[in-house]
Amino acid sequence: MWQPQPEGLGELVVFLREAGRSDAGDPYHIQQRLDSFRSVPDYNAYLVFILVKMTNEECYTRQLAGLILKNNIRGDFNTIPLSVLDYVKTSCCEAVLQPDAMPGIRSAVGSVITSIVARGQPANWPEILEVLVNAMDDPNPLKAEMGFDGLGKICEDAARDLDQDIDGVRPLNYIIPRFIQAFHHPNSKLRILALATVSQFIPLKSQALMSRMAEYLQGLFAQMNDPDPLVRQELTSALTMLLEARPDKLEPVLTSVIEYVFHCTHDADDRVALRACDFWLQYAHVPGIHDRLLPYLPQIVPALLQRMVYTEMDLMTLVGGYGDDNDDDVADKDQDIRPRFYRKKPQHHHRPLSTSFSPFGSIQDDIDNDPDGDFADDDDDDEDDDDLDDLDDDEFFSEWTLRKCSASALEVLSTAYPHQVCTLLMPQLDIALFQADWKTRESGILALGAVAEGGLAEMAPYLPRLLPYMFDSLTDTKPLVRAMTCWVLGRYSGWCVEQGNSTMESVIPKLLEKVLDRNKRVQLNACSALASLIEETGEKIAVYLDPLLQGLTAAFDVYQARNLDILYDTLGTLAEAVGGALNKPDYILAIMPPLTEKWNSLSDTDTGLFPLFQCLSTVTTALGPGFTTYSKPVFARCLKLIATTLEENHLAHKRPDLMMDPPDAEFIVAALDLLSGMVQGMNTLVTPLVNDSHPPLYTLIDMCLKESRTDVLQSTCALTGDLAATCFESLQPHLPTLVPLLIRQVENSDLEHISVCSNAIWTLGEIAIRWGDAMQDHVPRILQRLLSILPSAVTSLNTPHRDNNSRIRTLYENVIITIGRLGLASPSVTSQSLKQCARHWLLCAKALPDNDEKDTALIGFCLTIKLNPMAAEKEFGRLVDIVVAAPSPSDRLLKEFEDLVQGYQKIMKPPQWARLSKKLVKYSH
């Protein structure tokens, strides 16, 4: 049996004692000492000895040894000598059979056991499963707890491995029944562990559980009146998971389940009620069972409304003060400011998702669907543009609460049952909205906002009489009432726009007044509501520019750090909506001085630059030439930020001994996007800035195109394309270096690279129409890659557009446009592939929006056909359909198309030409 060396053991124990002290000193030195022990072959044996055997040592020292041991096993399992691993296993088994009195030690042992099983597979240590299962029945409560805890952790970390045969036996076939039996255990803590452990196998749809569903449900129902609220909480969670994973298993007993969950909605313990509301959230998403809930809606809707009232605990846990109506001059604390991340500009031609800020914490996901292409199964959005759209009340930066869950449940139920929910809700609101208790009034206003999307049509008849009520609520003495009212007006902004000028002229001044409220939470929600209203109105909001700019720019004088973020966002939204209408001297004078002042006040490492950069990016595009006066220092600072961040990043990786944290690469992305905004807005006026840039802009672009971060690459590709479109002469000398780097991005088919690939393709198309035959050597390689994507584009582009596949759709549109544009650069090359791509290309081109890009793509494709007309003869009718349907084709497109028509007339057989002539009748007119 292994025994430790006293000297080595003593040294390690002293080190662990020191490392566990709050004043332990330099963490780098501690980590170095810790790493030095790794060279000792039996290091992990020492650690388990300290954890299990040294019962007189301080608990924290022993726990720390267990934590390090667990991490060593997870990180270096395959390098641990077998003899050491056997000693660790034996020691852990002894610790289960003779449990320590300290719960922290027992838990640490369970974690070590779990790590060994998870990394080494249950098949290589089946004995421990038997030891733990037997411990569950032991009369010693500590030993039983170790069995439950250890086996529960193994089930959590190695669930799928337990569902495999080991020597002809599948562990779950005896583990799950044992836990189901434990639902009735006299110890409530072990009942909770048993319920939670079995629940883990519901999403996995484990056969060992599904085949015992009757026994499992019987066990759950037996505990429905359990006196311990944590048991009822786990039980309700299990029912919710079953509803999601296997609603068919609940269907025979669904009525009983609904009645039980409704009872839980009223539970005195908020944790149980919260899980019940989660059930209603899930129920609305399950098809085929909606009718079963209809009889219970008259009880559920009022119950949810009741649960939406602030509790005293809710109010105590709000971030920042809630009762001080004049807190706008109180500086934000660091913990009050959410971490700032730069929200990338959408990729070129990417359709922005609809956004709405929500107090329910919902995040709009941009999940792309590409079932056929080489970017298939992409459910990860590499853009962060929607994750921060929910800028609202401080309350909703905190944990998921019963109030928020109830509101979310009402929201989804109003979508599933709009008529029933709204009909039931209105009598309740008529009572709640006029209560003396402000918390009840506020919950009614929240409910009104919750049903705004799903029940808009049903609520519309009531809104004319509710709007004056909301205006009155904007002057309520309670800031939370005013804040929630602002949020609701934002939710109904679409309806306000539909009502016309009279409503808009009432709503905008009211919200602008709240933008300057003395309460920071009201300010934030008012700004967010205005942003929603501006988005819904679009360019027509320009008629209200005077009051909007006056109110929003006045907020710069009173807003603290956190609310400045939403102020920037609202100004950017306004600039994007009105575009060039902002380029007037008075407007420029209103908007630029406060932005410039903030620009000058922030250091180059302040993440407060992120929302400011995004705002300026949109503003510069809108102002266009009007931004020229302010452009030079902004351009120079962008270059400096990019260069400095690249340099610091290089140093951090080259010199790990310096222990430097790598710089935040989002500064590069923010600067690149702002440069893009300037290029797009100023057009050729930006050329002198580009030519005189220091460090040279094109050197920085070259460096950025060699970076690995997708957000940096995406923005770099976009900026390069913008430069090609506006100041090509300055870009041209650098193309021999940059084009191969862009092609490399096009050839990368990794899922997270979709938006980079899309922007690179678009940029190469912009270059192609200007560089001409100088690009010929690169065209075969580009074309080969684009043609490999083309077949997948046919289905996608001819399917009605949905928000959830926008990035993939944009990629395909850029592929089609650039294939066509390559024909402008090198038709001799593109014509060689015409036979294989003509049909697919024309099917996709028909689905493209009519704009200049489609026009140039069609010109290029005409040139391609001209050099190989026989390859496209059968498909020429599709090209005729596209050109004939074009609302305003360019003169050059018409010329190239007419040349093709004349050419095909000479080579086509009379019947074929007769069919084409019918299509050309409209064109000739």
Binning pLDDT at 50, 70 and 90, where does residue 740 land?
very high
Q: What SS3 class is residue 399?
A: coil
Return contacts of 877-885, CB within 8 angstroms, 24+ apart: 877/915, 877/916, 877/919, 878/839, 878/842, 878/843, 878/846, 879/842, 880/916, 880/919, 880/920, 880/923, 881/846, 881/919, 882/842, 882/845, 882/846, 882/858, 883/858, 883/923, 884/919, 884/920, 884/922, 884/923
For the chain, what percent of residues have pLDDT higher than 90? 78
> What is the model's pLDDT at position 28?
66
CA atoms within 13 A on the CB side of 500: 2
CA distance 384 to 381: 7
Radius of gyration of the chain (CA): 33
Per-residue model confidence (pLDDT) at position 356:
33
203-229 pLDDT, tens digit per residue, is 999 999 999 999 999 999 999 999 999
Residues sharing a CB contact under 8 Å with residue 130, sequence separation 6 or more, in sequence order: none
**What's the mean pLDDT when you consider all of the chain?**
89
pLDDT digits (tens, 9 = 90+) for 260-292: 999 999 999 999 999 999 999 999 999 999 999
In angstroms, the CA 179 to CA 162 distance is 14
| Identity of the residue numbered 884 | V
468 confidence band (pLDDT: 50, 70, 90): very high
- State the angle between helix axes of 188-199 and 172-181 in degrees (0 to 180), rounded to the nearest 10: 140
Of the pLDDT bands very low, low, confident and very high (cuts 50, 70, 90), residue 322 is very low
Region at 242 (left for phi over 0; alpha for psi -120 to 50; beta for the rest): alpha
pLDDT digits (tens, 9 = 90+) for 836-862: 999 999 999 998 999 999 999 999 999
Residue 202 to residue 198: CA distance in whole angstroms: 7
Say what the pLDDT of residue 397 is.
Answer: 44
Does 474 have pLDDT greater than 90?
Answer: yes
HSE-up (13 A, CA, CB side) for residue 198? 32
Q: Is 166 helix (H, G, I), strand (E, B) or coil?
A: strand
Inform me whether the pLDDT recorded for 320 exceeds 90.
no
Residue 902 has pLDDT above 50, yes or no: yes
**What is the structure's pLDDT at 368?**
30
**CA nearest neighbour of 646 among 599, 701, 689:** 701
Q: Name the burial class of residue 600, with classes exposed (0-12), middle (13-18) and buried (19+) by CB atoms within 10 angstroms of its CB.
A: exposed
* Residue 293: closest CA among 249, 243, 246: 243
| Residue corresponding to tokens 């190469």 | 764
Element (H, E) at 821: helix 806-825
Residue identified by tokens 């949810």 is 304
CA distance 921 to 925: 7
Q: Pick from 714, 705, 707, 642: which is nearest to 671 by CA?
A: 642
**CA within 13 Å, CB half, 200:** 21
Q: b or e along 300-337 (b: 16 or more beta carbons within 10 Å of the residue's beta carbon)?
A: bbbbbbbbbbbeeebeeebbbebeeeebbeeebeeebb
Task: Say what angle helices 141-157 and 172-181 make with each other, to 10 degrees.
Answer: 130
Peptide bond preceding 910 in cis form (omega within 30 of 0): no
Buried b (16+ CB within 10 A) or exposed e, 485-522: bbbbbbbbbbbbbebeeebbeebbebbbebbbbebbbb
Higher pLDDT pick, 635 / 659: 635
The C-alpha angle with vertex 692 and arms to 686 and 695, in degrees rounded to 5, equals 110
pLDDT band at 493 (very low <50, low <70, confident <90, very high): very high
pLDDT in tens, 746-758: 999 898 899 999 9
Rounded CA separation 349/365 (Å): 19
Q: Distance between CA atoms of 755 and 807, rounded to whole angstroms? A: 7
pLDDT band, very low/low/confident/very high, at 494 (cuts 50, 70, 90): very high
Cβ–Cβ < 8 Å for 645, 665: yes
Distance in angstroms (rounded) separating the CA atoms of residues 103 and 286: 42
Query: 109 and 66 in contact (C-beta within 8 Å)?
Result: yes
Contacts of 309 (CB under 8 A, 6+ apart): 403, 439, 440, 442, 443
Find tokens 């726009």 and name the residue. 497
Residue 798 near residue 744 (C-beta atoms within 8 A)? no
Q: What is the mean pLDDT of residues 572-578?
A: 97
pTM for this entry: 0.83
pLDDT band (50, 70, 90) for residue 15: confident
Peptide bond into 695 cis (omega under 30): yes
**What's residue 325's pLDDT?**
66
Q: What is the pLDDT of residues 167-197, one digit of tens each?
A: 889 999 999 999 999 999 999 999 999 999 9
Q: How far apart are the first and last CA of the chain?
A: 99
Contact assessment for residue 613 and residue 571, using Cβ atoms and an 8 Å cutoff? no
Tell me: pLDDT of 89 over 90.
yes
In the chain, the percentage of residues whose pLDDT exceeds 70 is 88
How far apart CA 792 and CA 807 sit, in angstroms, is: 14
Nearest-angstrom CA–CA distance, 586 and 597: 18
Cα maximum dimension of the chain: 103
> Which residues does 39 contact at the CB level (< 8 Å), separation at least 6?
none
Cα 467–chain centre separation: 33
Sequence-separated (6 or more) residues with CB below 8 Å from residue 48: 65, 69, 87, 88, 91, 92, 112
Per-residue pLDDT tens over the stretch 41-76: 999 999 999 999 999 999 999 999 999 999 999 999
Flag the least confident range among 29-33, 226-230, 498-502, 774-778: 29-33
In the prediction, which pLDDT does 335 show?
Answer: 54
Quick check: 318 and 398 in contact, CB under 8 A?
Answer: yes
Is there a contact between 895 and 854 (Cβ–Cβ < 8 Å)? no
The per-residue pLDDT for 916 is 81
Beta bridge partners of 166: 169
The mean pLDDT value for 502-530 works out to 96
Amino acid 26: pLDDT: 63
CA distance 881 to 387: 42
Q: Above 80 in pLDDT, residue 35?
A: no
DSSP state at residue 124? G
At what angle are helices 43-52 and 103-120 packed, to 10 degrees?
Answer: 150
Measured in residues, the chain has a length of 925
**pLDDT of residue 922 exceeding 70:** no
Given this model, what pLDDT does residue 362 score? Answer: 33
Judge contact between 434 and 388, C-beta under 8 A: no
The continuous run of DSSP H or E covering 606 comes out as none
The CA–CA distances, whole Å, from 138 to 96, 102, 134, 155 equal 11, 18, 7, 20
Q: Which residue in 576, 573, 575, 553 sits closest to 564, CA to CA?
A: 553
pLDDT at 708 over 70: yes
Q: How far apart are CA 103 and CA 66, in angstroms?
A: 13
The pLDDT assigned to 813 comes to 94
pLDDT of residue 908: 87
Average pLDDT over residues 235-254: 96
pLDDT of 562 above 90: no
